[in-house]
Amino acid sequence: MAEAAPVAPITAPQDARPAAAPAAAPYREQRSLFGEILDWMLAPLLLLWPMSLGLTWVVAQSIAARPYDRELADAARALARQATVQTSTVDLPVGSVRAELERAAATLKRDDDDDRSYYQVLGRRGELLAGEAALAVPTEPGGETTPVPEGGVRFRDDTIGDEPVRVAYLWLPPAPGDTRSEALVQVAETLGKRSKLATEIIKGVILPQFIILPLAVLLVWFALTRGIRPLAELQQRIRKRESTDLSPIPDGDVPDEVAPLVGAINDLLQRLDKTIATQRHFLADAAHQLKTPLAGLRMQAELAAREIDSGRGDPASMKHTLRQIALSTQRAAHMVNQLLAMARAEDTGQTARHQDVDLAAITRAVVRDFVPRAIERRIDLGYEGPADADAAGEGAPQKPGATRLRAEPVLLSEMVRNLVDNALQYTPQGGTVTARVLTDPFGQVVVLQVEDTGPGIAPAEREAVFRPFYRALGTQVDGSGLGLAIVAEVAQRHGADITVTDARPRPSMGGAPGTTPGALFTVRFPLAAAAAAPAS
């Protein structure tokens, strides 16, 4: 075997800069299902709690104002009745009216440590009859006075000085036949008792919430812990498993929401178990098959050593031994290459390396590579199908693109190579092997055929020949038993369909009537599926 020439070291130029390192993938922090559920449960609760406090404050203010508004309205009505009596008599002096109204107001005032009360009575001409002049006359936003229905009491919020007050007011209707305007009665009170009552209500409502809210958070935490406990138990069961234990995970005691996940894991374990079993069987067969050429190498080496030690190592014998060693080495190398091709075909990452390739061009290249071997074995090796422009010549019909498909070039070439190699191995001297590429006028498929005039394959064995290390009985062909297995694997990776039938009848080699047996391998590549393979 020729040694590879030494490769000179490659030195970078002086001004060359080191290539930038590829950017690291962004780190994604692992999320906690427990924490995410807890966040989604507590976040609305913590968001609604301040809103609840605000609404409680508004409701408490309204509740606290109602009883005091009723008392204020009663006082306004009582003062209004007294004012009606006093103002209905037009002959009474103003001082007498003021004195009577002040005595009536004194009985109605409710001054205490918390609040102070004020009143005001305006006459029918707008003059101040009694009370505080600082109380403003109620007006509409446009400045007009605000009359109210007869006997009705209205409320408003106002200020006396800088102190806010609550005001109850009503207008006294004029007497029958009197054209003068209405008199006004207003009673005001500060907001001390109202604020105190509202504060008491807020305390009574909110203080229990400071106890209930932490308790609710604790109960939510406990409920989530109890709910996620089956997941933790399932995790512990999986962690305690041996690496060789691929039995299904029991799903009888898992929650309904987790059952589909456990089912998917069990399906993965089942497929993984089958894959590992297939790999073990494949490795065992590979080790067994490699023993034969290695044993031949060892036996021939030991035989050569004995002959040299005994002095009987003549050149012819040594040449025969070296030829056998070379043959065993060739068999071992072929076996290793086939194993590597099988592993390459089983690599699922090959799909990402699909390219636009021409099946006819690959088939022609493979046929040209096998021509010397076919001539040595006196076998007629030929190609039928679309030819390139140089081989077809000018004027030959061409249909560009009819044999192009999306595929991995190395695997596609390996498939054609193994089909042609298999046909050459089983075809006797003087036989014929034809590699053929057919196009579909509808553009749905492209077909590869390899036909030989060998012994053929019995119908009962046509499925088994694609299994690794399987060889048909009754043949003396020396092979690895991996060629057709590689073909089947490559076809599966490309979504192709492969069939084995009898070859087309041909005249016998001697020209006598009859036919010679043979096998016809047909591989159909669906163009649509092959084009969609990289996307999937």
CA max distance for the chain: 168
Please check whether residue 411 is in contact with residue 345, taking contact to mean a CB–CB distance below 8 angstroms: yes
Q: Is the pTM of this model over 0.75?
A: no
Q: Thinking of the domain 34-198, which architecture would CATH place it in?
A: 2-Layer Sandwich (3.30)
> Which pLDDT score is estimated for 242?
85
The identity of residue 164, as a single letter, is: P
Does domain 350-532 correspond to CATH entry 3.30.565.10? yes
Strands 497-502 and 519-526: antiparallel
The stretches of 240-314 forming alpha helices (DSSP H) are 259-310
Mean of pLDDT values over 297-321: 75
Burial class of residue 315 (count of CB atoms within 10 Å of its CB; 0-12, 13-18, 19+): exposed
Mean of pLDDT values over 96-100: 63
Mean of pLDDT values over 229-247: 83
Q: For the chain, give the percent of residues with pLDDT over 90.
A: 10
Q: Between 387 and 391, name the one with better pLDDT.
A: 387
Q: Thinking of the domain 241-346, which architecture would CATH place it in?
A: Orthogonal Bundle (1.10)
Domain borders along the chain are: 34-198, 241-346, 350-532
Please check whether residue 412 is in contact with residue 344, taking contact to mean a CB–CB distance below 8 angstroms: no
What is the rounded distance in angstroms from the CA atom of residue 297 to the CA atom of residue 295?
A: 5
What is the rounded distance in angstroms from the CA atom of residue 247 to the CA atom of residue 264?
A: 13
DSSP 3-state of 463: coil
In our burial notation (b when 16+ CB lie closer than 10 A, e otherwise), range 97-106 reads bbebbeebbe
What is the rounded distance in angstroms from the CA atom of residue 201 to the CA atom of residue 195?
A: 10
H helices, E strands: number in the chain: 10, 12
| Tokens representing residue 161 in the block | 């000085």
Q: Which stretch, 307-316, 333-342, 390-399, 475-484, has highest mean pLDDT? A: 307-316
* 260-287: pLDDT as tens digits: 888 888 898 888 888 787 777 667 666 6
* 447-462: pLDDT as tens digits: 999 999 988 888 888 8
Question: What's the chain's average pLDDT?
Answer: 75
> Which pLDDT score is estimated for 384?
92
Residue-by-residue DSSP string for 192-233: HHHHHHHHHHHHHHHHHHHHHHHHHHHHHHHHHHHHHHHHHH
Q: Between 297 and 145, name the one with better pLDDT.
A: 297
Other Cβ atoms within 10 Å of 266 Cβ, number: 16
What is the rounded distance in angstroms from the CA atom of residue 512 to the CA atom of residue 510?
A: 5
